[in-house]
């Protein structure tokens, strides 16, 4: 394997502090009923309620609309969010928000809905060409000039953690690039997390989004240590992807423990309210953690894996070629942990233990190998495809997969080692088949 140790920082120039950013979170069964009062308390009088058609037909939508009406708040509904939003979807939502003259935002749905709402808020507040705020090198990566309108985010899937992060991901179709906008200003003002919403999710969706949760925790926990980065100048420019730190470690450890205990139960039985609630809590914790540490190689690889799909159609999702985000992340993860374990062995070993791996009788105390093995066990238990070959990729695709990964510099720079083209190629090659 050709992945190399991180370059050393000249002495005295390393980072010595980390910053904690977190939005207010209200978590619990029935929490959606608080949306109206909370919107009112934030000064909202007329809100854009952003959702998708599937969620609009569910009882959760009626509950939120009722709570807003009871608080005497005007509502303009936008329900055209697509799964895996594109630049056109961001643009349509922003135009809608501008024309509706709203003073606040409520999003109800999965990560695609919440991300689209963040973009609508941004571009309605500070109109600009799309590329202005998009991460470099794909976009210009300019800072967002000031605060946005208040945004209450209500997730209905237990996965992306978008309700507590300042990241909005989209598919820039004209550039064939999956990219995003990252800024603390995009972070929703409050998250309202009601675990009842997960009772209407198909098991396949809980499986993919639950593995996304698990990878948020695993990647944040095994990311480079924040002290191995060059110090931010000015310090206010310290990125959200600042590396593993004592705050993110707290959320990661508990999220890993919960995922190890409850993921398989939550996937197999939609009526197991305890398991689904615990995975929703794990998603919130992992979201807060990765919003303050950053994920790394599995997420960078996932953009290429999802973006170059040909004809794989997963059950439980709309009938179209698609590798769901959480599945795309999980497919690369064991290969990464196996290869990167030697760069942070103690952390990989601890993660494997928290996930419930039996490490006592292990022939070798190789943290990366033990963690990879445990993640593969969980993937099999929730019926994930067997590696990249399981979603239609083979050796001839390696160059394209590497090319789609290397531009994800924000993510790759957060890995515990240097990731160049040869390293990425070796990772994809060993992710083809796992069992």
Residue nearest Zn ion by beta-carbon distance: 212
- Which of 354, 386, 384, 378 has the alpha carbon at shortest distance from 367? 354
**Cβ contact 153:162 at 8 Å:** yes
Binding site for Zn ion (CB under 5 A): 212
Residue 132 or residue 156: which is nearer to Zn ion going by CB?
156
CA distances from 351 to 60, 259, 357 (A): 35, 11, 9
Residue 93 or residue 330: which is nearer to Zn ion going by CB?
330
- Which of 218, 260, 225 has the alpha carbon at shortest distance from 246? 225
Spatial CB neighbours of 360, under 8 Å, sequence gap ≥ 6: none
CB of 155 to Zn ion, least distance (A): 13
CB of 39 to Zn ion, least distance (A): 27
State the Cα–Cα distance between residues 213 and 325, nearest whole angstrom: 11
Residue 23 or residue 160: which is nearer to Zn ion going by CB?
160
CB of 162 to Zn ion, least distance (A): 9
Residue 34 or residue 212: which is nearer to Zn ion going by CB?
212
Residue 50 or residue 169: which is nearer to Zn ion going by CB?
169
CB of 279 to Zn ion, least distance (A): 14
Residue 92 or residue 218: which is nearer to Zn ion going by CB?
218
CA distances from 243 to 16, 19, 32, 80, 108 (A): 12, 11, 33, 35, 30
Residue 151 or residue 178: which is nearer to Zn ion going by CB?
178
Residue 306 or residue 349: which is nearer to Zn ion going by CB?
306
**Cβ contact 294:240 at 8 Å:** yes
Spatial CB neighbours of 233, under 8 Å, sequence gap ≥ 6: none
Residue 32 or residue 280: which is nearer to Zn ion going by CB?
280
CB of 195 to Zn ion, least distance (A): 19
């Amino acid at each position: 394997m050709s992945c190399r140790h991180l370059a050393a920082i000249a002495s005295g120039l390393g980072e010595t502090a980390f910053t904690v950013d977190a939005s207010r979170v209200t978590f619990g069964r029935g929490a959606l009923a608080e949306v109206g009062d909370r919107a009112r308390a934030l000064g909202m009088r007329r809100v854009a309620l952003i959702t998708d058609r599937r969620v609009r037909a569910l009882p959760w939508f009626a509950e939120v609309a009722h709570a807003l009406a009871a608080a005497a708040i005007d509502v303009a509904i936008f329900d055209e969010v697509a799964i895996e939003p594109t630049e056109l979807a961001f643009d349509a939502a922003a135009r809608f928000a501008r024309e509706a003259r709203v003073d606040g935002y409520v999003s109800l749905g999965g990560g695609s809905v919440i991300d689209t709402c963040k973009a609508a808020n941004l571009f309605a507040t500070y109109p600009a060409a799309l590329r202005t705020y998009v991460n470099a090198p794909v976009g210009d990566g300019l800072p967002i000039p000031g605060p946005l309108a208040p945004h209450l985010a209500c997730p209905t899937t237990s996965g992306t953690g978008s309700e507590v992060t300042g990241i909005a991901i989209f598919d820039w179709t004209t550039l064939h690039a999956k990219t995003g906008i990252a800024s603390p200003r995009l972070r929703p003002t409050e998250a309202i997390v009601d675990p009842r919403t997960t009772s209407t999710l198909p098991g396949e969706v809980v499986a993919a989004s639950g593995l996304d949760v698990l990878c948020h925790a695993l990647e944040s926990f095994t990311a480079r240590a924040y002290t191995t980065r060059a110090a931010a100048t000015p310090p206010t420019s310290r990125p959200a992807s600042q590396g593993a730190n004592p705050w993110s470690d707290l959320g990661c450890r508990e999220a890993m423990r919960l995922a190890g205990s409850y993921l398989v139960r939550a996937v197999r039985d939609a009526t197991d309210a305890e398991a689904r609630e615990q995975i929703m809590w794990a998603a919130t914790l992992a979201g807060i953690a990765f919003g303050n540490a950053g994920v790394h190689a599995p997420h960078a690889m996932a953009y290429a894996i999802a973006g170059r799909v040909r004809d794989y159609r997963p059950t439980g999702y709309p009938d179209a070629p698609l590798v769901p985000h959480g599945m795309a992340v999980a497919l690369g993860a064991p290969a990464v942990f196996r290869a990167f374990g030697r760069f942070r062995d103690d952390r990989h070993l601890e993660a494997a233990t928290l996930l419930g791996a039996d490490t006592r009788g292990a022939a070798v105390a190789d943290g990366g190998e033990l963690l990879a093995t445990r993640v593969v066990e969980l993937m099999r238990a929730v019926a994930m495809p067997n590696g990249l070959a399981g979603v239609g990729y083979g050796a001839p695709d390696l160059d394209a997969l590497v090319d789609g990964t290397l531009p994800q510099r924000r993510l790759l720079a957060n890995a515990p080692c240097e990731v160049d083209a040869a390293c990425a190629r070796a990772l994809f090659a060993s992710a083809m088949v796992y069992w």
